[in-house]
Amino acid sequence: MIKLTMGPSEDGSRLDRLLRKRLPLLGLSAIYGLIRKGEVKVNGRKAKQDHRLKEGEVLEINVGESEFESEARPENSLAGLVKTDFFKRNFNILHEDQSILVCNKPAGLVVHSGSGHTHHDNLVDLATGYILSAQKSVPAGTETEAPVLMHRLDRDTSGVIMLAKNKGIVRALHASMRDGKFTKQYIAVCHNRPPEFEGTIKIGMARNDSKRGGMKMRIADSGPESITTYRILEYQNDRSRLEILIHTGKTHQIRVHMSHLKSPIIGDDRYGDQRTDEKLFASSALSKRLYLHAHKLTFPHPKTGKSITITAPVPKEFARALEK
């Protein structure tokens, strides 16, 4: 039996993904078998595979010591990623210092490894490769910590995303997040327009039980509350460009809220108007993508406490999306 207390670097991690990193000798079916049979517990209780771990929780895994890797360390081979065309196309630094790394994620890039993305084609591995390649002067034998993703963006959403360079920084950033000191501003281009020039959506959300089309969320009065505010920046040709702030971080929150207002985001293949999208993309040279972009991130720096804002330029196609 392995017992492990979750630290700041594990906070927010999905249970199944952490187990895949810490049980490298076991296959996926064996790991999910452990979860299904109740051989994996969090704070003494059987846990589901998508449970989001929290700092301080105690993880118990009924496996032998030889199966378990106590520390998740970056693979030195990842340093070679910086020489690839994939790295050059997808890794764009907006800000870097000794504590944090902030990138402009392109649409289509997943943020971490998962089903279908196991060959280092994700932001975390690209960032790890970058840090390893930049630390050639580090003394031999010195171990490099893998960067920790501080928040998430959907695969098809572009824009600002932050990683912490060490566990101490993770703790400070998580404290600021819990205190509501992070501001996340998005730009979206939607079909139609919301009913008001500006407004607040405050409504419950829950996971959709349907397995079709991948994981989806739905409006549910009994679900955890989700809060989004929006403001219309421009409206023409039955399309609107919105400035959006999120005050909670539910999965697919903006996409669900805009669909709820009958103003689905252009290119949203889960919650959007696919028939109208098909007509739009077929009649124009507009790029096929989700028209949602994480534009600005404002937060207190974990070392200095000074408020800083990191901006990712809005893609040019967002302006073209309002044209006929």
pLDDT of residue 31 exceeding 70, the answer is yes
Banded model confidence at residue 20, pLDDT cuts 50, 70, 90: confident
pLDDT on residue 7: 74
Q: What number of other Cβ atoms are within 10 A of residue 266's Cβ?
A: 26
pLDDT on residue 253: 96
Mean pLDDT, residues 114-143:
71
Structure confidence by residue, pLDDT tens digits, 298-323: 999 999 999 999 999 999 999 999 98
pLDDT of residue 19 exceeding 60, the answer is yes
pLDDT of residue 3 exceeding 60, the answer is yes
Banded model confidence at residue 92, pLDDT cuts 50, 70, 90: very high
Highest mean pLDDT among 3-12, 181-190, 199-208, 212-221: 181-190
Closest CA to 151 of 253, 257, 42: 253
Q: Is residue 318 within 8 Å of residue 291, measured between CB atoms?
A: yes
Q: Give the span between the Cα atoms of 259 and 179, in whole angstroms.
A: 29
Q: Is 191 helix (H, G, I), strand (E, B) or coil?
A: strand
pLDDT of residue 9 exceeding 60, the answer is yes
Mean pLDDT, residues 67-96:
81
Look up 154 and say whether it is catalytic: yes
Torsion sign, CA atoms 250, 251, 255, 257: negative
Single out the catalytic residue among 11, 16, 154, 277: 154
Which ranges constitute the DSSP H helices of the chain?
Answer: 15-22, 28-36, 85-90, 123-134, 167-178, 253-260, 274-282, 317-320
Structure confidence by residue, pLDDT tens digits, 218-248: 999 888 999 999 999 999 999 999 999 999 9
Q: Give the span between the Cα atoms of 233 and 190, in whole angstroms.
A: 11
pTM over 0.75: yes
pLDDT of residue 286 exceeding 60, the answer is yes
pLDDT on residue 190: 98
Q: Is 77 helix (H, G, I), strand (E, B) or coil?
A: helix
Banded model confidence at residue 148, pLDDT cuts 50, 70, 90: confident
pLDDT on residue 238: 95
User: How many residues make up the chain in this entry?
Assistant: 324
pLDDT on residue 274: 94
- Element of type H or E holding 73: none
pLDDT on residue 42: 93
- The lowest-confidence range among 72-81, 233-242, 247-256, 263-272 is 72-81
